[in-house]
Structures are given as C-alpha cells and as structure tokens.
Structure 1
Amino acid sequence: MTDFRGAHVLITGAASGLGRLMALEAVQRGARVSLLDRDAKGLTEVCEAIQGGKGGAGGFVVDLSDRAALQATCAEVLAQRGGVDILINNAGIVSGKTLLECSDDAIERTFQVNTLASFWTVRAFLPGMLAVGKGHIVTVASAAGLAGTSRLVDYASSKFAAVGFDESLRMELKRLGSPVRTTVVCPFFIDTGMFEGVKTRFAWLLPILKPDYVVRRIMRAIAGNRSRLIMPRFVMTVPVIRVLPPFLFDAVLGFFGVNRSMDEFVGRH
C-alpha cells in the first residue's frame, strides 16, 4: 500500500481541474503537497484553500513546456521541501484541432506538456526514491492514449506516448528490482472544462466523467498500488477490439460515436 500520511506529494497542473482536487484530497489524507502550474493566481488560491494541512502547500509557478525552467523548479522543490514520495504528472493541454489546423508550435507544446514534462520530473525525483527504497510515480494519461480519434491527433499521440512511458518505466524499475511503483490513469472525457463541448453517443457506456469521482478512483488506485486505472470499464474493451482488422476496429469506434465525439468541442476559455 502507498500511504499518503506524512508523504510529500508533487502534482503538476495543480491550479485547476483534477490537479486541484487531487491536491485537496492528498492533504485530507495527511500529505504535504508541492504544486506546479503556470497559473500563478490559481496556484495561490489552491495553496490558500489547503493551508493548515500537514506541512501546508508549496506552490511553484512554471511553464511545463520549458524544459530548463521545469528542471530548475524541480531542483528548487528538492532544495526547499525535500524528496518527493508520490509524483503525480497530471498536467495536460489539448488543441482540439485537426492535424492540418494545428500550428507547429501547438503540436510541439502538446508533447512538451503532455509527455516530455514527465521525463523531466521523473528524472529529477526518481533518484531520491531509489535512494530511500520507496516511491510512487503516477502518469495521468487518457483513454485517447489507447484509441485515437479525429481532432485529437496531437493529443492522442502524446497520450499514447505517456502510456508507453509508464509501461517502459514500470518494466525498467522491475528489472532494477526497485520497490518504486507506477500507476497510469486512462480516463474517458472528464467534465473539468478542458473538453467542453465533447459528446458521447451512449452515455450509459461511455459517460462524461465527473471530476470528484475520477479523483476518488485515482487516489484509491495510488493507495492500493494499482498499476493501471481505466475509466469507465467499457474502455477496457479497446485492447480486445484491437485484434480486429483496422476497418472493423474503425467501424466499432464509429458506431459508438468515438470518432465524432470532438465535433462540437470548444474547450476551456
């Protein structure tokens, strides 16, 4: 089991959405938290909301797409607040545009935030976990990291990479004989505003998930050392469907409305 009591939890993308809720929940469970986000105002509000928890909260303003700045911030966290016990790479962005509509800069930024930032944070904090013989690394990916769809070419590609990152890291840690654990989280669309406007054809099978529910499931998965959390359960059929020829796989996703889910996307303003 992974115990939050007295643990130092670092969360990226913590100024709003899932990151904010996970920070509040971690403190409720007895953790002290370090929070990273580019939104200074949002970070301040979260830190003020959770002051009084064990060790309080430390907010660090940083653009996760800036590798040098992120690495410097990770070093600052280590110097000011010590080693990290639970690292939650939660930050993510989405353009919601077709491949040809996306700018070069937007595509690169999607990968920098959704994928590469995890490399830099893990490289910063994993040595400390290995030294003390414990730790937990959480990658908040997406159901889009299991099945791609239109208007999510950049996003889905970055999340496929995030899923592969977690899997390869898990295998690497096992090869090293390390007790450090990993958890990858692959949820369907979540009602945080990030995917405002998305639709689902069969809400009873593929519901737009509620943030509070998702956070509860994530925290339980971390505490229980689950290696993978997929929500809702229907998304777990994707690996099975993949045995079909591509034209049938595409037809199944089309029937369930997945390939049209982004048609009315507007995103967070």
Structure 2
Amino acid sequence: MQFFLSSLLLLPMLIICILESLLKLFIPKKKKSVTGEIVLITGAGHGIGRLTAYEFAKLKSKLVLWDINKHGVEETAAECRKLGAKAYAFVVDCSNREDIYSSAKKVKAEVGNVSILVNNAGVVYPADLFATQDPQIEKTFEVNVLAHFWTTKAFLPEMMKCNHGHIVTVASAAGHTVVPFLVTYCSSKFAAVGFHRALTVELAALERNGIKTSCLCPNFINTGFIKNPSTSLGPTLEPEEVVNKLMNGILTEQKMIFVPSSISFLTMVERIFPERFMTILKRKMNIRFDAIIGYKN
C-alpha cells in the first residue's frame, strides 16, 4: 500500500515524460559523427552485416569485419576499401568463445580499440522442436546469444575507460513475440533482447552514460535464411530498408529499433490484451514460412 501511494507522487513526472516523448517525435534528432571510429561487425560476410559495413564505410569509419566465411568477409572488406574506408577482414567462428577472445586480441594489436561493436552474426533453423537437432540448438545459442557476451567482454573495458562507445545488438521481432516452428530461434532472440536491456541498465548504474546501446528488432527479412516467409502484417523486408533504419537508429542513439515500427505496438498489445484474443489475432497475422516438422501425429 505504501509503495502504491508513493508511486502516485510520480504521476506528474509521468505526464512530463509522456509530453517530452511526444515532442521528440516532431523534432529530428541530430545524427552523431562516426568518422574515424573503429567499428567491428560480426557476420559481415553477407546480408545485414555486409550492408551495414558499407554504410559505415561511406561515413569514413574504420572497419573490422568478422565472419566464418573467408570469401564473403574478404569481399565485404574489398568493397569497403573501394568506398574509401580502411577495412580489416578476420575469419572468426562466433560459436567459439576462445576464437572470439583470440581474434579480439589480434584486433587490438593490429587495428586498435573498438568503439562501436555490432553483434550481428546469427543462425536460424526453421523447424519444430522435435526436428531441431541438439547441436543446432547449441549452435543457435552460441552464436545468437553467448557470442554477444564474449565480444562485449572483450571490447567493453576500453570503452569504459574513456566512457565512449556503442554496443549494437541485432535481435529480431522474434525476441518480443513468438511463432511456432522457431522455438530455438525465438528463445535465443528473447535472450539477446534481455542482454541488451540488462546491459543498458548496468551501464547506467555504473555511470557510463557515454556508452550507448541499440537493439534492432526487424520482422522477416529477404536474406534467404528463412524460405518463403509471408505475413498479413506486410511484405517481407528488404535488407537495404532494414539497414537504413539500423543506421539511423545508431546515429541518433535509439535504444530499441523496430522494423517496421508497428512491431512495437504489437508487443505492447500482447502484454495488455487477453490471451484468447491474442491467439485469434495471431491467426489473422497468418505468419508462414518453410519449416521442417518432425512431430508425427
């Protein structure tokens, strides 16, 4: 009861914060400069990682590119150099903690201290729980979640020293709402979103407000990882559109970046509306994609 009464005293502050947020919607936020910043992107050999590297290259950042695919990451680095940026390609297995730590040491010795870390590497196995092999479950969490811990532990200390940096978590709309036949993927992305939110609060508690955090949560993207995706929420997103939103979010220091923005409304609705109604609503969304079904009735 005491907590409830004391919380009522915060009502004027709540109104002020709401008005402030509404006002910010109409005032474009100034974009920060990333010229000369050392940007490390995992999973940079293709898709979102590759296109994000190109955008940072255009802004004259220094690129450190990680991917398990040697040919892909070297292609990305070569294109970044054509765009006028310095780019360094490293073959790194983001499912391997020791490989991450040893590669991080090489980066510090050969390039310098990373000030923007984009944890983009990810894997997905569209299948029901029975058809998802145990090694696939382990791999999903190693790449989609644990790699974020290892890369952040490797590069955050130098950011802490100078109270300057940016940690970017590439998650998914599947980190806020769930669909069948992606149990492993959804679970890993919920963990990635939790990592972002907890890290954000921890940095504030440690008074390191100069280190920013952003989390990207897009709907289905046309990158080929999931075959034939469709939903009544709208067309499958093109990678260029998602990267454009991601870059804008990083440069304006947005905490959570939903693509499309309507995803944020859906996540709010899911917390408020009755479960039975949400079941009907999700049927209306008609989310479909090719998946392996191992359960036989």
Question: How many angstroms apart in 2 are the aligned matches of 1:207 and 1:173?
Answer: 37
- The question of whether the paired residues in 1 share the 8 Å contact of 2:60 and 2:85 is answered with no
Structure 1: any 5+ residue segments left out of the alignment? none
Partner of 1:12: 42
Question: How many angstroms apart in 2 are the aligned matches of 1:99 and 1:85?
Answer: 38
Question: How many angstroms apart in 2 are the aligned matches of 1:246 and 1:102?
Answer: 27
Question: How many angstroms apart in 1 are the aligned matches of 2:283 and 2:158?
Answer: 46
Partner of 1:254: 283
Where does 1:4-153 land on structure 2 (aligned, <5 Å)?
A: 4-53=34-83, 56-153=86-183
Q: C-alpha deviations, 1:115-168, integer Å up to 9, x for none?
A: 110000000010010111100000010000011111110000000000000000
Deviation at 1:55, TM superposition (A): 5.2
Question: How many angstroms apart in 1 are the aligned matches of 2:191 and 2:234?
Answer: 23
- Pick closer, same or farther for the CA change 1:132–1:54 going to 2, 3 Å: farther
Question: How many angstroms apart in 1 are the aligned matches of 2:194 and 2:33?
Answer: 26
Aligned residues: 260
Structure 2: any 5+ residue segments left out of the alignment? 1-30, 293-297
Query: Which of the pair has more CA radius of gyration?
Result: 2
Deviation at 1:246, TM superposition (A): 2.4
TM-score w.r.t. the length of structure 2 is: 0.84
Deviation at 1:251, TM superposition (A): 2.0
- The question of whether the paired residues in 2 share the 8 Å contact of 1:32 and 1:54 is answered with no
Q: Which amino acid aligns with 2:150?
A: W
Q: Which amino acid aligns with 1:242?
A: R
State the identity as a percent.
Answer: 38
Partner of 2:212: 181
Where does 1:184-203 land on structure 2 (aligned, <5 Å)?
A: 184-200=215-231, 202=232
Which deviates more from structure 2 when the two are superposed, residues 232-241 or residues 118-127?
232-241
Question: How many angstroms apart in 2 are the aligned matches of 1:104 and 1:265?
Answer: 17
Q: C-alpha deviations, 1:12-31, integer Å up to 9, x for none?
A: 00000000000011000110
The secondary structure found in structure 2 opposite 1:242 is helix
The secondary structure found in structure 1 opposite 2:272 is coil
User: Is 1:223 paired with 2:251?
Assistant: yes
Which deviates more from structure 2 when the two are superposed, residues 80-89 or residues 189-198?
189-198
Match of 1:234 among 262, 275, 287: 262
- The question of whether the paired residues in 1 share the 8 Å contact of 2:127 and 2:291 is answered with no
- The question of whether the paired residues in 1 share the 8 Å contact of 2:58 and 2:85 is answered with no
Question: How many angstroms apart in 2 are the aligned matches of 1:127 and 1:2?
Answer: 22
Which deviates more from structure 2 when the two are superposed, residues 235-244 or residues 14-23?
235-244
TM-score w.r.t. the length of structure 1 is: 0.93
Q: C-alpha deviations, 1:196-221, integer Å up to 9, x for none?
A: 31112x2xx33211111111111111
